[in-house]
Amino acid sequence: MTSRKTHSPRGAAVALLDQVIGQGRLLSETSGVLRDMAGAQRAEALRLATDTLRGLDRADRLLSRAVRKKPPLHVRNALRLGTVELCLGGDAHGVVSDLVGYISKNNRYRHLKGLVNAVLRQMADGAGKPWNDLRIPRLPKWLRDPLTEAWGNGSVSAMEAAHFSGAPLDVTAKSDPSGVAKTLGGTLLPTGSIRLSSYGQVSALEGFENGDWWVQDAAAAIPVQALKPGPGTRVLDMCAAPGGKTLQFAAAGAEVTAIDASDRRMDRVRENLERTKLSAELVVGDVLEFEAEGYDIILLDAPCSSTGTIRRHPDLPYAKDGSEFGDLIALQTKMLDHAVSLLAPGGRLMYCTCSLLPDEGEVQIEELLQRRDELRTDPTIFDIPGIDPEWLTEEGGLRLRPDYWPDLGGMDGFYMACVTLRT
């Protein structure tokens, strides 16, 4: 019989790091670790793992000065976690004794508990002091190289600084953004999203249960804000889950058909619609097989590398290695061609991805326009408050980056373009 291990938050965070760094799983895909933990402890474990991933590059620099030979990954992850916590002002006694206790309970690694104790004590006693003077954590090479080629070293450094700062909580109001901003004590952004720089448990915030708003990064809300759908607009929301854009359309009074291949993710759309008391027709299926015409708006929020969301998901650079790029780009091209085949005269197609890679954004649209002479882009729809005209791209799309809006707290990386048939 196997006994199920229940972890302390620190132990769980180390186990999460093992899965992310050692097995290439995103935090949202890790299995087993958080299963039997209470809500607050799970949240704490996730926070610790996220903080560690965000500061990993700095922790490794400090650890390379303190440890001559790299210990096995599990022990290294415990040291990384302890180093980050101590450098961010964590209680030295609690951090050291908890992690030493955690390692000493592991038959395989208990012989290294002395090392963990010695190194973390050094960190607590001053070896961690240079933390703030260390360089801003860099993206791993597999991602830094293509981004540098696309945007230049200075811009990538600015993006890395934005990633290191993390992300505030952005929400979209069902109606009355100013009222919701006031209730939540948030800032109303120029595009209409509401931003909260400090918050506790999201579901405990006022108006959540009543469905007055939903969580959605300000950048992710822009495609629908730019389209300005009116009541009765017929919308096909391709790749809709978890439903942020479906909710925006529905809140504007549009008639939405939302399609997604994932049953599990579609449950999230269903829950979100129920909570906000909004409605949409939901279809679980492959968008490539979906055939119907007569939509005023088709929105294709295609699956992508998600490299624009690293501020909120610092696990991504460590869980992934870029090997999926080629397949994703090919799938986006297929989806884009299929979406175009459903576009009727007068209809508009909005293509978007939360990617920082031009191959998943600018290049997709550039090549689409070359393949299909009857199409054109309409950049004028991005003439909305908060959008700098400098962010418009040559092929007529809009590029958003995490280093934009630096004084407001940044935004996710996103690309979008609105395509219509030439008249």
Ligand X SMILES: C[S@@+](CC[C@H](N)C(=O)[O-])C[C@H]1O[C@@H](n2cnc3c(N)ncnc32)[C@H](O)[C@@H]1O
- Sequence ranges of the binding site: 239-245, 260, 301
Smallest gap, in angstroms, from Cβ of residue 239 to ligand X? Answer: 3
Contacts of 277 (CB under 8 A, 6+ apart): 211
- 136 vs 363, beta carbon nearer ligand X: 363
Answer for the pair 260, 269: CB distance below 8 angstroms, yes or no: yes
Smallest gap, in angstroms, from Cβ of residue 261 to ligand X? Answer: 4
- 287 vs 419, beta carbon nearer ligand X: 287
Sign of CA dihedral 305, 308, 310, 313: negative
Interface residue with ligand X among 43, 66, 73, 261 (CB under 6 A) is 261
Known binding-site positions for S-adenosyl-L-methionine = 239-245, 260, 301
Binding mask 231-250 for ligand X (x = CB under 6 A): --------xxxxxxx-----
Phi, psi of 170 (to 5 degrees): -105, 140
Smallest gap, in angstroms, from Cβ of residue 287 to ligand X? Answer: 4
Smallest gap, in angstroms, from Cβ of residue 385 to ligand X? Answer: 21
d(CA 415, CA 353) in angstroms, rounded, equals 5
Number of residues that bind ligand X (CB under 6 A): 18
d(CA 24, CA 21) in angstroms, rounded, equals 6
User: Using the rule CB under 6 A, is 61 a contact of ligand X?
Assistant: no
- 7 vs 399, beta carbon nearer ligand X: 399
- Estimate to the nearest angstrom the gap between the alpha carbon of 9 and the chain centroid: 23
d(CA 187, CA 399) in angstroms, rounded, equals 23
User: Using the rule CB under 6 A, is 358 a contact of ligand X?
Assistant: no
- 86 vs 266, beta carbon nearer ligand X: 266
Report the relative pairing of strands 348-353 and 414-421 from DSSP bridges.
antiparallel
Question: For residues 95-114, which are near ligand X according to CB under 6 A?
Answer: none
- Please tell me whether residue 380 adopts helix, strand or coil conformation: helix
Smallest gap, in angstroms, from Cβ of residue 422 to ligand X? Answer: 27
Answer for the pair 120, 99: CB distance below 8 angstroms, yes or no: yes
> Which structure tokens are listed for 222?
């822009």
Smallest gap, in angstroms, from Cβ of residue 318 to ligand X? Answer: 20
- 56 vs 169, beta carbon nearer ligand X: 169
Question: For residues 278-317, which are near ligand X according to CB under 6 A?
Answer: 286-288, 301, 303
- 21 vs 298, beta carbon nearer ligand X: 298
Answer for the pair 349, 418: CB distance below 8 angstroms, yes or no: yes
Catalytic annotation present for 354 = yes
Answer for the pair 45, 7: CB distance below 8 angstroms, yes or no: yes
Residue 369 C-beta-side C-alpha neighbours within 13 Å: 18
Contacts of 196 (CB under 8 A, 6+ apart): 168, 169, 170, 171, 184, 185, 186, 187, 205
Question: For residues 165-224, which are near ligand X according to CB under 6 A?
Answer: 220
Which residue carries 């934009």 as its tokens?
A: 404
- 74 vs 245, beta carbon nearer ligand X: 245
Binding mask 262-281 for ligand X (x = CB under 6 A): x--x----------------
Q: What is the dihedral of CA 332, 334, 335, 336, to 10 degrees?
A: 80
d(CA 318, CA 316) in angstroms, rounded, equals 5
> Which residue among 87, 304, 352, 354 is the active-site one?
354
Smallest gap, in angstroms, from Cβ of residue 98 to ligand X? Answer: 37
- 131 vs 214, beta carbon nearer ligand X: 214
d(CA 140, CA 20) in angstroms, rounded, equals 14
> Which structure tokens are listed for 300?
């294709």
Answer for the pair 62, 87: CB distance below 8 angstroms, yes or no: yes
Which residue carries 């090549």 as its tokens?
A: 367
Task: Tell me the residue length of the chain.
Answer: 423
Smallest gap, in angstroms, from Cβ of residue 295 to ligand X? Answer: 16
Binding mask 63-92 for ligand X (x = CB under 6 A): ------------------------------
Answer for the pair 355, 305: CB distance below 8 angstroms, yes or no: yes
Which residues are part of the catalytic machinery? 354
Residues that bind ligand X (CB under 6 A): 220, 239-245, 259-262, 265, 286-288, 301, 303
